[in-house]
A and B are shown apart, each in its own frame.
Chain A
Amino acid sequence: MRHAAHFARLVALLVIVVVGFLLVRAKMVPKDFGVKGHFRLSAIADEAAREPRHIGSDACAECHDDIGAAWRAGKHHVPQCENCHGPGLLHTKVVAEDSTRGYPDKILTAFPKAINPGTGIRECRWCHLKTFERPSALKYIVSVQQHVEQHGGTYTSASRCIDCHDPHTAEVKR
């Protein structure tokens, strides 16, 4: 048994390596890893925990009831509030915190992008501008310059659709 000592050392080393591996593995691999497949099961809950930032037109209408009602009854209820104004989550949070103290100023300084006040031309062009690929059968696609001039306006780069149209009902302002 000349080599017994060597052998013992080798076995001891092996045991240390194996135990070390198992310890590190137990620490690194989460408990719920592999429950349903090669992934961490609670990652699904993590993903689901994110808060939706678009709250929906019905939620907007709870506070902006006049605009909400007009929008719903009007001819422009296909685009949602948040299509033009952006997501409302932050907006409602700021409002809920303090709705008495000069809200618009506060939100514009603290969260300049919390809600888009609406330019009345940029948003309209996204959906209404006549371009080559847009199905010409759609009645709401208009050639901007032609349209404005046809209705007695002068078309400049500053022309806004909301000079003539209410953005929420699409009605022509008289």
Chain B
Amino acid sequence: MSQLPPDDVTRRAFLETVARTGGQSFLFGSLFVNTALLRLPQAGTDAKARAEAEVGKGVIYGFVVDTTKCIGCGSCVRACRAENGVPDGYNRTWVEQYTFYPDGEVFVNSPNGGEDGFADPAPTRNKPTGTEAPMRGFFVPKLCNHCIDTPCIQVCPVGASFKTDEGVVLVDHERCVGCGYCVQACPFGSRYLNPETGTADKCTWCHHRVVRGLLPACVVSCPAEARIFGNVSDPQSRISRILATNRVQVLKSFLGTRPRTRYIGLDSEVI
């Protein structure tokens, strides 16, 4: 017998080859999947390195909402509307009222965004039927989360949404064409199309006040110190100390948008 011709493969060799290359490509492929997974924010190193790189550059603003202190007076909503000329029926910030009933039902309410307060003393008001008294309740103020990985900026077709070096997400009202993609993309409902300008609008953390050394209007007007704004890259700032001594959470962390607005005392029911 001379040598085998190259294409004359025994069954055994064939199966071996299949197993080997199959196994290799499986390993190789799963490597890809793994690195892809690593880029999702909840998984460690990459995201952390990026956050650190951003903090090193200088001022990075952060916002803390202490839901345990909020009394639902609506001062922030009124101040925001006045400061930013937000048209009626739209809100850059709003307050949600959560009411829990003994049967496990949860009601969420935000009449007029909380602008007129929640000054209705009847505790059964949210319950459509029955007169069962609620078990517990609290207020959750909401505003733009100024995410680090923003869905809203990504979808803008004309580059009208952007993030400043300080981490503030802004809208360029000159470039915005009012397509509304960003309004749809924001998972927190923080954006709206302003009927007066025809452009997308949102909370700016009162950028125009902050550059003048003032605090955002909602922070100044809060009588309960439920809203804290400041420079998180300065470890001595008030917000940094609050972040260091409290357990904070973000809204919808599973979406991986990495919000810069953080919450103290969130319940799992809050979405």
Contact = CB atoms under 8 A, between A and B. Distances in A.
A129 B223 CA distance: 14
Interface in A93-150: 125-127, 129-135, 138, 141, 143-144
Interface residues of B, number: 49
A46 B117 contact: no
Contact of B208 (A38, A50, A144): A50
Contacts of A44: 164, 170, 207
B208 to A, nearest CB: 4
Contacts of B75: 79, 83, 126-127
B160 A127 contact: no
A46, A50, A54, A132 — most chain B CB neighbours (10 Å) = A132
B131 to A, nearest CB: 14
Interface residues of A, number: 39
Contacts of A49: 208
Nearest to B79: A54
B220 A130 contact: no
Contact of B170 (A43, A87, A131, A134): A43
Contacts of A126: 73-75, 116-117, 119
A129 B208 contact: no
A48 B223 contact: no
A8 interface: no
A80 B174 contact: no
B121 A47 contact: no
A143 B220 CA distance: 26
The 3 closest A-B pairs by CB, nearest first: A39-B162, A43-B172, A133-B137
